[in-house]
Amino acid sequence: MARSGTTVIQQALQGHPNVRSSMDELKVAPFFTKGIAVFTVSGVNDFERDNGYGVLIDALSMIPCGLKGMHLLGYGGTEAVPKATALANGVKVAVGSQAEAEDLAKAFETHESLRDVAVVRIERRDLVAQFASLQRAMRSGRWHSFYHAQPTVSDPNAPFECSGNDFHFYCQEAIAIRAAFDRIGKCCKMVQISYEDEIAKDVSKASGRVFQFLGLPVVAPTWLGSEKVAPPLATFVTNTKRLYEIFRKYYPDAV
């Protein structure tokens, strides 16, 4: 899910000398809902769906590139850390809803060509902080230290109150998404990385565990260019205490 640490792990993988990766996120639909049928005239062919995902992922992530720089990190690397022999390649998918998670889980459960995919799952236990960070990003346009969009409010720096009803819905969606990823984990090789216990404490160590999981040489991710954007939660959300009360009372198993 967004605001859980997926971007910094994506950048760690993109910059690894033995990894090739697309630079943007991949939409669940239509890639995982239609596969090769997106490009064909007559509709879904079961053979193509069952056997085509590997070559599609390769096509998206293995684009030959002789250029280097942060804007092409996943393809060409940087001058300091150029690309070497490719040992792994892949794409990032950030699931934003229960419906997307269900589509993704169904694809993994149905299609043989996804069974060989290794999944890096990033999870943030503190749904209050994750929800508030998402609300702040949507209001301010400050999604990452390297990417700013137009703010949607007149004063993006002003503290704000989060809707309790919206938070209830968000928690329900998050719990359903976690359950869908549990199903995916039964279909393929998966590692789960914790935002609180690993990424927030030592992103280099967290990256190293991902590299090891994928059978890659463990190297220091010196190319990382993403910095934490959101300030402490209580400085920009006025009803933090109430949100945590809701979280602990109604969703104790998600804490």
Residue recorded with tokens 């749904």: 127
Please check whether residue 10 lies inside any domain of the structure. yes
Question: Does residue 200 lie in a domain region?
Answer: yes
Residue 1 domain flag = no
Residue 146 has pLDDT above 80, yes or no: no
pLDDT at 229 over 70: no
What average pLDDT does range 240-250 have in this prediction? 97
218 in any annotated domain: yes
CATH code at position 40: 3.40.50
Q: How many CB atoms lie within 10 A of CB 197?
A: 12
The yes-or-no verdict on residue 243 having pLDDT over 70 is: yes
Instruction: Give the length of the chain.
Output: 255
Instruction: For residue 226, name the pLDDT band (cuts at 50, 70, 90).
Output: low
Residue 47 lies in a domain: yes
In a domain, 30, yes or no: yes
Q: Residue 23: its pLDDT value, please?
A: 92
> How many domains does the chain fold into?
1
Whole-number Å distance between alpha carbons of 113 and 53: 6
Residue whose token pair is 């995919």: 117
Q: In angstroms, rounded to a whole number, what is the distance separating the alpha carbons of residues 4 and 194?
A: 9
* Domain that includes residue 113, residue range: 6-254
Containing 194, the helix (H) or strand (E) segment is strand 190-194
For the chain, the C-alpha Rg in angstroms (whole number) is: 19
Q: What is the mean pLDDT of residues 10-21?
A: 97
| The pLDDT value given to residue 56 | 94
